[in-house]
Amino acid sequence: MFSKATANFVRQIDPDGSLIHVSRVNDSRKLIPMALVVKCKPVWFWQKAKYQPTDFTIGDLLLDDTELSPGVCETEFLTFKGTFGGTYSGSLDTRAGSVSVEVEGRCTSELNSCFGKLKKQELDVKKLLRESRNRLVNMEHVLVLQLKKRADVLAIVKERILTTNSCLVTQTRKEQCTLQGVITLLDMLSSSIKKKGSYKVDSDVSLEIPSDTVIAYSILELEIRSSGHFDLCLQPGTIGGFEADSSASSGPSYESGFNMVDGKCNGNMSQDKGGLSQMDLSPLAELPEFTKHALFQKLRETLKDRTALSYLQSVVSYSDLAQLCQSEKIDQVSEPVERLSRSMSADFSPEPLDPHSTNAAQLKAAHLLVSAMEELPTETLNVMSDSSADFLDALHTLMCRLKESEGCLSVQRLPVLLQDNPTFQKAEQLLASTRVSLKRNIHSVWVEQQDEVLFLLLCLGVQGLSLLSQGMK
């Protein structure tokens, strides 16, 4: 709830700027000026970096024991109050042999953030540069040694936004779910057993945040040479990292000599940092039918809430595959609808996970799908969340045919569903939200592409949802 409130705050006041929202209240005490923050290497090249505060400051890493005291300037920032919410609904009707399951859910959620008056504290960077001149980083420090192996980047806290008084974040959530299971006993003269169930949950949670709680911050990345000399990355867009060690066995090496972590690749597919050849969503088609359809419905619901989508992306992390696969099985009929996203781990073997196994491939594909959708524009996510399985399947077919024909195909090859003008206009709207123009005349259909990365992410999102919705009516 705190993370959602701070993320909404940053999106409202600094959507394309340098502010980073604080995910956990417990991190607030660590985010002091000059505190060290780790910029973690993303799995896929288009992802934004994740940030992890540490228990150290830049002074803790320097060899000289002389204390740094560059000073901090404090100013009033602004007063913030916001209300965010929406109503989500979905249904699921699936059959597997003699078993059919129907699930219908509806959820209304409202988040109120009242941070009140906020203040900003900003590090005196010029004085820090003077005081740290000729100082060396201890390259044997345990934090440095660990980060060099992972090719992550170190940064220092430059500024932070704090509350001035205690404030409240409240969330009101109302959920209602109806479940019906039907088991036909064919060997008992076609008699049947029907089970129905429903639940309703109302929750009203209030979180009181104390004064001087950090809700957002910005950083300056560090370029650290193997000699221990370091520089602050002062220019916008400048990326830090550790100087590449020719003896190291991990971490990408760049022409600049530093191991770096970047977020999006600015629309240039040639950088292929995540390995385009590894982007395979086909294992999703091998999931059990109920799991596929439940995950499809849960994803469509989650697309309406970007914070929830980010959380789901972290839960379905490829680095946690073994833990997910060893998790306790979920009763797919009796559990509430909000847990359906976890059903992808159901029916998996509890044995240790082989990275090349089918289970690993399915979870990696799920992580790829969620990671791709997390980077799509909000307008794109809204359209996708309201798209039917038939529409997504038709759009996926169109994208495949456009790719095969290098961006242009005859009208006769247009999927039947998209030959309907309103449906074609919805496809135009969806592609336009990723800055891709879908055009049609009497003879041909083609795309005018402007952003290769966004188009790739849209293709992955549409393909993944189409695979999950296979067999749905």
Same domain, 49 and 75: yes
| Residue-number span of the structural domain to which 398 is assigned | 278-468
Give the integer Cα–Cα distance in Å for 430 and 391.
Answer: 11
Phi and psi at residue 297, to the nearest 5°: -65, -40
Cα-only R_g, the chain:
25
Q: 204, 228, 263 — which closes off a domain?
A: 263
Q: 197, 231, 263 — which closes off a domain?
A: 263
The answer to whether position 352 is within a domain reads yes
Give the integer Cα–Cα distance in Å for 407 and 449.
Answer: 9
Number of domains the chain is built from: 2
Same domain, 227 and 312: no
The answer to whether position 249 is within a domain reads yes
The answer to whether position 117 is within a domain reads yes
Question: Which helix (H) or strand (E) element contains residue 360?
Answer: helix 358-374
Q: Would you list the DSSP string of 383-439?
A: HHHT--HHHHHHHHHHHHHHHHTTTEEEGGGS-GGGGSHHHHHHHHHHHHTTTEEEE
Q: Is 308 helix (H, G, I), strand (E, B) or coil?
A: helix
pLDDT of residue 459: 92
Query: How far is residue 345 CA from its own chain's centroid?
Result: 19
Residue with token string 């336009």: 432
Same domain, 286 and 252: no
The answer to whether position 417 is within a domain reads yes
Parallel, antiparallel, or unpaired for β 72-96 and 191-209?
unpaired
pLDDT of residue 394: 93
pTM for the model stands at 0.64
Residue with token string 């169109």: 398
Same domain, 254 and 333: no
Same domain, 258 and 284: no
The answer to whether position 58 is within a domain reads yes
CA-wise closest residue to 325 among 303, 352, 287: 352
pLDDT of residue 191: 42
The answer to whether position 96 is within a domain reads no
Q: What is the pLDDT along the chain (473 residues), one digit of tens a residue?
A: 788 889 888 988 888 788 999 988 999 999 999 999 999 877 788 877 889 999 999 999 999 888 888 999 999 998 887 777 655 555 555 454 444 555 555 556 677 888 889 999 999 999 999 999 889 999 999 999 988 888 789 999 999 999 999 988 887 766 665 555 543 333 433 444 455 555 555 667 788 889 999 999 999 999 999 999 999 998 877 788 888 765 444 443 333 445 444 444 444 444 444 455 568 898 888 888 878 888 888 888 888 877 777 767 766 654 443 343 333 333 332 232 334 334 333 333 333 445 455 577 888 888 889 889 988 888 899 899 888 999 999 999 999 988 888 878 888 889 999 988 889 999 999 999 988 888 888 889 888 877 788 889 999 999 999 999 887 65
Residue with token string 């956990």: 24
Same domain, 397 and 351: yes
Q: Which amino acid, 371?
A: S
- Local structure of residue 260 (DSSP, 8 states): -
Same domain, 249 and 351: no
Give the integer Cα–Cα distance in Å for 252 and 226.
Answer: 16
Same domain, 338 and 429: yes
